[in-house]
Amino acid sequence: MDFSLNEEQQQIREMVHDLCLERVEPRAAEIDESGEFPWDVKELFAKHDILAIPFTPEYGGISGGALTLIVAVEEISKFCVTSSLILSVQSLGSLPIWLAGTEEQKRRYLPPLARGEHLAAYALTEPGSGSDAGGMRTRAIKRGDRYVINGSKTFITGGSVADTIVVFARTDQDGDTPARNISAFIVEKTMPGFKVGKLEKKLGIRGSPTAQLFFEDLEVPAANRLGGEGEGFRLAMRVLDHSRPGIAAQALGIAEGAFDLARRYARDRHQFGKPIVEFQGIQFMLADMATQIEAARALTYASGDALDRSLPDIGSSSSMAKLFASDTAMRVTTDAVQILGGYGYLRDFPAERMMRDAKITQIYEGTNEIQRFVIARELLKDSA
Ligand code: COS
């Protein structure tokens, strides 16, 4: 199936594919084994302008297109999901600035991110507020021309390596409704009071640091507030509408990588005197995997296209893409492990890593239960 990609998208796909095949795939197993952030891959991506993809040329980027970013994330994810997260999080962490920043904030913070000199992170989740993002406890209190932030965040992807972190905090004094009293702030890691806590040990995406962050009387200039006071929750939701197709792209890439591996293996592996791909049981598995991947790609690209064309109901199309593609990634990687049999269960082959990496796509940037909630709410909002 050929979703019509424009010339820019095709070129970026080819460039990212070739680079990752040569330089990232050989590193993927080590990155997973060591659990360390791959600074070399970050440098490689910065040098080849891959980290510039989420940004428009006026802020030092090379695209800014949602579908272009999807295609790039998909290609990297075929080889190494941890590496794809470097690009995804660069986009996620800069989206609030892109969507709600003043011209001055954009000119100050986006170009170093586009050049890959700085890394970004998005700090929304707290120990007590995951799916219920509005229930956060971190608080920002205004004192003159500054806000003093106290609290903590958890599960922050790239939180320990980021230079620019968008932090969400309550700015109410007297308990207004949660959605109205949250504000967003651009925090620099060098600001006194910003502290990185422990890094989580995870099932997959092991080279992507998942950090706790602590704010102890962290002073942020009022000029670093994004949008108006109390506009933070809606901004956080808009960001997720824009970023979830990127998770769908990641899931799609993992599924494609696992499918290619399983197909190759099924052709090479002989049992009962012939390649196992000649058995109908394996053929049907491959047929189902390919069908699910095609459907996931259609939804994922459609959600990127909807963002690029500013179509209405992007929340719902983003959630559908993320939901379907991540469930596909889990199914396809599990089947890939099954096709590889005993070898699928060994670390000598990437199938088990892909299966471990796939699982997170059903959980982060909103669990798939939250995606269903967003979709259902959209479906029912106009019904009598
Ligand atoms: N875009 C813009 N505004 C939105 C919005 C969106 N996608 N979704 C909600 N809002 C607005 C609502 O319109 C409402 O505005 P008003 O107060 O003006 O009426 C406000 O935000 C509150 O919305 P709602 O009442 O729906 O908030 P809830 O607390 O019920 O939360 C969900 C809704 C569950 C959808 C939200 O908390 C969520 O997405 N949770 C998952 C968070 C997540 O994905 N975390 C992953 C970690 S971040 S990487």
- Give the angle subtended at the CA of 75 by the CAs of 345 and 246, to the nearest 5°: 95
Going by alpha carbons, the residue nearest to atom 47 of ligand 1 is 365
Q: Which fold has domain 233-383?
A: Butyryl-CoA Dehydrogenase, subunit A; domain 3 (1.20.140)
What residue ranges in the chain does DSSP mark as E strands?
120-123, 139-143, 146-157, 164-170, 182-188, 194-199, 210-221, 225-226, 270-271, 274-275
pLDDT at 345: 98
Do the beta carbons of residue 117 and residue 326 sit within 8 Å? no
Please give the chain's pLDDT, 384 residues, in tens. 557 899 999 999 999 999 999 999 999 999 999 999 999 999 999 999 999 999 999 999 999 999 999 999 999 999 999 999 999 999 999 999 999 999 999 999 999 999 999 999 999 999 999 999 999 999 999 999 999 999 999 999 999 999 999 999 999 876 556 666 999 999 999 999 999 999 999 999 999 999 999 999 999 999 999 999 999 999 999 999 999 999 999 999 999 999 999 999 999 999 999 999 999 999 999 999 999 999 999 999 999 999 999 998 899 999 999 999 999 999 999 999 999 999 999 999 999 999 999 999 999 999 999 999 999 999 998 764
112: exposed, middle or buried (Cβ count in 10 Å: 0-12, 13-18, 19+): middle
* The ligand 1 atom nearest the CA atom of 133: 37
CA distance 12 to 39: 22
> Is 7 a residue of the active site?
no
For residue 178, give both structure tokens.
């949660």
Question: Is the beta carbon of 241 within 6 A of some atom in ligand 1?
Answer: yes
The CATH code of the domain at 120-229 is 2.40.110.10
Question: Is the beta carbon of 374 within 6 A of some atom in ligand 1?
Answer: yes
Choose the CATH number for 7-114 among 3.90.1150.10, 2.30.40.10, 3.30.160.60, 1.10.540.10. 1.10.540.10
State how far Cα 142 lies from the chain centre: 32
CA distance 35 to 217: 31
Do the beta carbons of residue 332 and residue 258 sit within 8 Å? yes
CA distance 31 to 35: 6
Q: Residues 208, 74, 124, 192: is their CA dihedral positive or negative? A: positive
39: exposed, middle or buried (Cβ count in 10 Å: 0-12, 13-18, 19+): exposed
Question: Is the beta carbon of 370 within 6 A of some atom in ligand 1?
Answer: yes
Amino acid making up residue 70: I
* The ligand 1 atom nearest the CA atom of 238: 1
Q: How many helices (H) and strands (E) does the chain have?
A: 11, 10
* The ligand 1 atom nearest the CA atom of 130: 45
What's the predicted TM-score (pTM) here?
Answer: 0.97
Q: Which of 237, 239, 314 to mutate to test the pocket of ligand 1 (most atoms within 8 A of CB)?
A: 237
Q: Which of 14, 200, 365, 369 is catalytic?
A: 365
Question: Is the beta carbon of 230 within 6 A of some atom in ligand 1?
Answer: no
Q: Which residues of 239-267 are buried (b: 16+ CB within 10 A; e: fewer)?
A: bbbbbbbbbbbbbbbbbbbbbebbbebbe
Which residues, in sequence order, are CB contacts of 317 under 8 Å at separation 6+? Answer: 299, 302, 303, 306, 311
Cα–ligand 1 centroid distance for 233 (angstroms): 7
Question: Is the beta carbon of 48 within 6 A of some atom in ligand 1?
Answer: no
CA distance 77 to 82: 8
The per-residue DSSP string of 112-136 comes to HHHTTSS-EEEE--BTTBSS-GGG-
Going by alpha carbons, the residue nearest to atom 41 of ligand 1 is 131
Delimit the domains of the chain by residue range: 7-114, 120-229, 233-383
pLDDT at 175: 58
Question: Is the beta carbon of 237 within 6 A of some atom in ligand 1?
Answer: yes
pLDDT at 174: 64
* The ligand 1 atom nearest the CA atom of 366: 44
Do the beta carbons of residue 207 and residue 34 sit within 8 Å? yes
Cα–ligand 1 centroid distance for 315 (angstroms): 10
